[in-house]
A = this chain, B = another copy of it.
Amino acid sequence: MNEFELIERIFVQMQSAQSLSNNVEKGIGDDAAVIALPVGARLVSCIDTLVQGRHFSADWEQVNKLAFAIGYKAVAVNVSDIAAMGATPHSILLALALPKRLANEKWLTEFAKGLFHACQLFGVALIGGDTTRSDSLILSVSAQGLLAADTPAVYRSGAQVGDKIYVSGALGDAAYALKYPEIAVGIELAHRLHMPTPRIALGAALAKIGATAMIDISDGLYQDLGHICQQSRVGMRLNLEQLPTSKPLANVDLSERLLCQLAGGDDYELAFTLPADIEPPVSNNTPVTYIGDVIALIDNKDSSIDNVTYRRPQLYYQGQPVTPTHPAPFSIWPNLTGYQHFAG
Using CB atoms and an 8 Å cutoff, list the residues of chain A in contact with chain B: 1-5, 25-26, 29-37, 39-49, 51, 54-55, 81-82, 84-85, 87, 91, 93-95, 97, 100, 103, 127-136, 138, 140, 142-145, 147, 153, 155-157, 214-216, 231, 309, 340-342, 344
Contact = CB atoms under 8 A, between A and B. Distances in A.
User: Which 4 interchain pairs have the tightest Cβ spacing?
Assistant: A142-B142, A140-B140, A32-B46, A95-B140
Contacts of A342: 2-4, 100, 103, 133
Contacts of A4: 340-342
A309 B140 contact: no
B231 A29 contact: yes
A29 to B, nearest CB: 7
B26 A35 contact: no
A131 B85 contact: no
A136 B52 CA distance: 12
25 contacts: A1-B309, A4-B340, A4-B342, A26-B155, A30-B156, A31-B82, A31-B156, A31-B216, A32-B81, A32-B82, A32-B85, A34-B85, A35-B43, A39-B39, A45-B142, A47-B95, A47-B142, A49-B95, A49-B97, A49-B132, A51-B97, A130-B140, A131-B341, A133-B344, A138-B138
B136 A32 contact: no
A336 to B, nearest CB: 15
A97 to B, nearest CB: 6
A269 B53 CA distance: 38
A3 B29 CA distance: 37
B94 A47 contact: yes
Nearest to A23: B42
B47 A144 contact: no
A51 B134 contact: yes
Contacts of A133: 51, 54, 341-342, 344
Contact of A42 (B25, B48, B143): B25
B340 A47 contact: no
Contact of A340 (B2, B82, B138, B143): B2
Contacts of A29: 156, 231
A147 B36 CA distance: 9
Contacts of A43: 34-35, 37, 43, 144
Contacts of A147: 34
A42 B307 CA distance: 47
A130 B42 contact: no
Given A30-B155, A31-B156, A39-B40, 9 more contacts: A32-B45, A33-B45, A34-B44, A34-B147, A35-B42, A47-B95, A47-B128, A47-B140, A103-B342
Nearest to A82: B32
Contacts of A127: 45
Contacts of A55: 132
Nearest to A84: B31
Contacts of A44: 32-35
